[in-house]
Chains A and B, each alone.
Chain A
Amino acid sequence: EAQVTQNPRYLITVTGKKLTVTCSQNMNHEYMSWYRQDPGLGLRQIYYSMNVEVTDKGDVPEGYKVSRKEKRNFPLILESPSPNQTSLYFCASSFTGMLYEQYFGPGTRLTVT
């Protein structure tokens, strides 16, 4: 089954404790992206990647890191999480051609205390 998977689905952590949220897709998509969703602010893009070893900042990259060492994986790293990073995070992927739709993962609900 074609899908985007994220792990963990739920995470409660403390301020400053490094964490990684994994994202994996099995559709051979070149493009992958991370979003956060907050009440009243909607979905905002954090980082995106056009292909392996190619990443770029989205609208809200501060406090996040990403890497793209393999085509199927695009982990999101929070080196020193803070409470304002409490949010619902989504990973998405697609082919890079403009004709293609984006596929979203199920989301990761992160709480930083």
Chain B
Amino acid sequence: RKEVEQDPGPFNVPEGATVAFNCTYSNSASQSFFWYRQDCRKEPKLLMSVYSSGNEDGRFTAQLNRASQYISLLIRDSKLSDSATYLCAVLMGEDNDMRFGAGTRLTVKP
């Protein structure tokens, strides 16, 4: 089993749609979780950290489910500019190495 797994995608949605991504992780002791956005041929940029209580930043909501070992990212009112690959990341182990999911490609169409 992979350490971090994401929805395979791709997701093609119309503008204004709501879309959700899930990401499961294998290490139950993991403590820190993140969502990154990566545009084509660019570096990942931190989108938001995921807190135990869940957190919201504008149209983006991230949630953590420790019992089922997954995190989610919800994007409301999708914009064309949201088109990108979304990577989940989990800090694992004593060394706090960051492990990334393979990414989910989102395309928002007019």
Same assembly: no
